[in-house]
Chain A
Amino acid sequence: MAKTHVSTSINGEPVEFLADPGSSLLDALRNTLGLTGTKEGCGTGDCGACSVTVDGRLVCSCLVLAVEAEGAEIATIEGMAQGEALHPLQRKFLEMAALQCGICTPGVLISARALLEKNPDPTETEVRFGLAGNLCRCTGYDKIVRAVMEAAAEMRETV
């Protein structure tokens, strides 16, 4: 099948690629563009490992068609740190050991950032529901929730 030309922006940089009309944004990121920081845990929208934002909206990239990236602004885990400076969420995840195997971590971080953009001062329950789309099998979520709340507190102070 003929491929479609897609012009998009990923982490603030212009990107062009060719996509099969039926292929997912996740597939384009990982296999066409080499951005393997976004993970695939299920391919069916049930685990959140593939979380990215499209025009600021949190999505499962396995459920978005690659061609839908046309003209959009995509943000992935690779763009979360500013150079050497980690995002407060990334830093808190390290300091508070909020990851074990780390396969869920990129998706959890992207979801958490999207959550804090909407709600800078979430309760524990709000964090738990905000991250309910991101499966983590290793941590039992305890340290993830704490790290997100700590990061939120720090981000509120620095604003």
Chain B
Amino acid sequence: MNVITDKLRVEDNKWIGQRTIRPDGADKVTGRASYAADNTMPGMIWGKVLRSPHAHARIRSIDTSKAEALPGVKAVVTAKDIVDFPLETSVLLGIQDMRWMCRNVMAREKALFHGHPVAAVAAINEEVAVAACALIEVDYEVLPHVIEIEDAIRDDAPILHDFARFEGKPSNIAGTMTAKLGDVEAGFAEADVIVERTFRTRPIHQGYIEPQACTVSYSADGRATIWSSSQGQFMVRAMTSLLTGVPQSNIRAIPAEIGGGFGAKTIIYLEPVALLLSKKSGRPVKMVMTREEVMRATGPTSGSFSTVKIGAKRDGTLVAAKGDFYIQAGCLPGGPLRGPVGCAFAPYDIPHVLSVGYDVVSNRSKVAAYRAPGAPLGAYAAESVIDEIAEQLGMDPLELRLKNTARSGTKAAYGATFAKVTFEETIEAIRDHEHYKAPLDRNPRPGVRRGRGVASGFWYNAGGESSAQVNITEDGNVVVTTGHPDVGGSRASIANVTAELLGVDHGRVSVLIGDTASIGYSNLTGGSRVTFASAMVVTQSAEKVIGQLKERAAKIWKIDPEAVHWENGEARPAGPNAGQFPPLTLADLAARASETGGPIGAGVQLNTAGAEPGFATHVVDVEVDVDLGIVRVLRYTAAQDVGRALHPSYVEGQIQGGVVQGIGWALSEEYLYDRQGRLENAGFLDYRMPVCSDVPMIEAVMLEIPNPKHPQGVRGVGEAPIVPPLAAISNAVHDALGTRFYSLPMSPPKVLARLDEA
């Protein structure tokens, strides 16, 4: 369903808003699209990583001589080959601290989790590389380890890093973040109702189906080419450069098609290692992670341990909110504190807020971004407490939210003053939706109980650096190049925008993703920024191209360029005064490009701004099988302000995909460790992501309220849909059973245990 509130620019759109066939589609349904692991090179050899068998151990020495002597082995690398970033000085690349990245890619002083890379081998085939890894002798001093947050923050916990201090003492709390507004204690003093609860969630994996993979060729002239899939070829180039010492100008990072990332591929694991193996061996090196390696050693997102307290007046006015969010960082600092601290209370106009995040290290793999990093953790706690307040006040939970929505001019605790807030519209869309009004048969048959829940969510969205080039081919067609890997249809959106602006048929526009040598710097695909930012730079490029086309026509007609209009893919005289000339099409002008001034094309490189935040409100019906403890989602409706859906199908797809990831988070996914600190479920069989038969259709309600700061009105979409589901489903389970869960996932054993207590 589309609710379009601004008819003005939408009505005459021919391509924007159409469900066109994506430019990269045919190759993807025929198996021809080339993903990271699909690349090969002549003379290529294979790299494999040796990983720590211990959760926590000092590395006394590494002896690689036996591995090197094995026939077929071509190179071995260890941490001493990776550029060291000393602990004293922070070196940042975006939000990543290279002190941690260099230690994540290869264990340095200590192995910090089971699966931490300690060495890597390149050999003539994978079998020899694996055999050689087994011959590497690592002398470990095994240390006590710690996995869970509550254990890691105890006074007697084993400390991972000597440099980390909290309140002056060595600690596994590596940092904090605070957002504050007003005086929270004074706020609670005004409250008639206060609810305070503690919540736990487990780390969960992004679960992309394509394991990390790369092929790297380091040539005799010191230049390297990297083929890999990532959420940013420029990040791959920069991080590999920093970790290997090869200058960026000597690295060309070519983005393969990416088989899912969801944030996790905003950092790298293999590329610097493969580059060094290639440099040492003189051969191209291919590395592909196994699924087990992906689960063990690439970042999941954080688990959390949070306490949220919210106070309200009897009439439902929220007066104070306090959150303490302990967030797992994994073995090195850098958990997504900004998510829960900034987002948990941001949808609401609450005068007194204190939100504190704690970055907790433990002997797990370092976390990586996952869709709206950290925000679902905060929303889970806050939106559950709000549900409880509504219950205590006897108010409809949506009415309670409506009464307290942030509005234009509201100042959020994280610092922003909102320009245009569209939260209210998402709540109303759900309140007025047939789903919310539909009667619910609470006890359809013996042993089954049903319930309904709602929750909302917020994500900042982002702008940032993007580059685009729009070229007119000699035969009068259009090639657009951007610098962003396409994770879910961004090329389709860009094709629509370009066709619209130039007034040509969609089929005449090709959209490509440039490598680091062929397009200007472009920041990561992530944070719901790519469609927003790339549509902006493509629009400006296309406008420049239109300016050129008008000039060329003016030259041919010998009139002033101002007197030329560009309309429906043709140059026309602006009016009768401009002269009488038959229109010149794109093809006409392309054919005469040389004589009128040379090739036609333009590029724009920009630090984009104006990404207004995303708001979402969801409603879900669940059914609990009280004999088996299984919670099933029966119906799900998600409303979100999407600004303008350049390609509605891929906007809906973002919402539907995010919701189902949220369903997995709420009901079945979790990292499980044994006593030795080893991950027990490092595979898709035991790490249970939703399959097709687990979920219903997901109705995406796209509210198109144009973002005034974007040429097409785009608002980022991808993150916000994963923020509400955790609380929405938990609230629905509470509605079904009358008992509330304060930890995720609500898996069958946990549900049964709770029902047994009752």
A-to-B contact residues, CB < 8 Å? 30, 34-44, 46-47, 49, 76-78, 80-81, 86, 90, 93-97, 99-106, 109, 124-125, 127-129, 131-146
Contacts and interface: CB of A to CB of B under 8 A. Distances in A.
A144 B209 contact: no
Most buried by A among B25, B290, B649, B661: B25
Given A36-B34, A46-B683, A138-B260, A132 B693 contact: yes
B157 interface: no
Contact of B653 (A39, A41, A104, A139): A139
A135 B684 contact: yes
Contact of A103 (B24, B35, B649, B692): B35
Given A132-B692, A140-B657, A100 B31 contact: no
Nearest to B487: A101
Contacts of B40: 34
B18 to A, nearest CB: 12
A132 B654 CA distance: 21
Contacts of B698: 140, 142
A78 B24 CA distance: 16
A131 B31 contact: no
B30 A97 contact: no
Contacts of B684: 41-42, 44, 46-47, 135
Contact of A102 (B33, B290, B654, B690): B33
A65 B28 CA distance: 26
B97 interface: no
25 contacts: A36-B35, A39-B210, A40-B37, A40-B211, A40-B288, A43-B291, A46-B291, A77-B30, A78-B30, A90-B29, A97-B22, A97-B647, A97-B649, A100-B657, A101-B261, A102-B29, A103-B35, A105-B28, A106-B29, A132-B691, A137-B208, A137-B657, A140-B695, A141-B656, A143-B656
Contacts of A139: 653, 656-657, 660
Nearest to A97: B649
B729 to A, nearest CB: 14
A145 B692 contact: yes
A93 B210 CA distance: 20
A4 to B, nearest CB: 16
A80 to B, nearest CB: 7
A21 to B, nearest CB: 13
Given A77-B31, A109-B29, A137 B692 contact: no
A142 B656 CA distance: 7
B162 to A, nearest CB: 38
Contacts of A99: 25, 28-29
Nearest to A42: B291
A41 B31 contact: no
Given A39-B259, A140-B660, A145-B697, A97 B19 contact: yes
A135 B697 contact: no
Contacts of A142: 652, 656, 697-698
Contacts, number: 185
Most buried by B among A93, A106, A128, A138: A138
Contact of A96 (B31, B649, B693): B649
B262 interface: yes
Interface in B685-703: 685, 689-693, 695, 697-698
A141 B21 contact: no
B38 interface: yes
Most buried by A among B38, B492, B697: B697
A71 B145 CA distance: 53
A101 B653 contact: no
Nearest to B259: A103
Interface in B488-530: 488-489, 492
Nearest to B685: A46
B693 A128 contact: yes
Interface in B196-220: 206-211
Contact of A39 (B21, B209, B650, B689): B209
B142 interface: no
Given A43-B290, A95-B21, A137 B30 contact: no
Contacts of B695: 140-141
A146 to B, nearest CB: 8
B26 A97 contact: no
A77 B488 CA distance: 21
A81 B35 CA distance: 20
Contacts of B288: 40
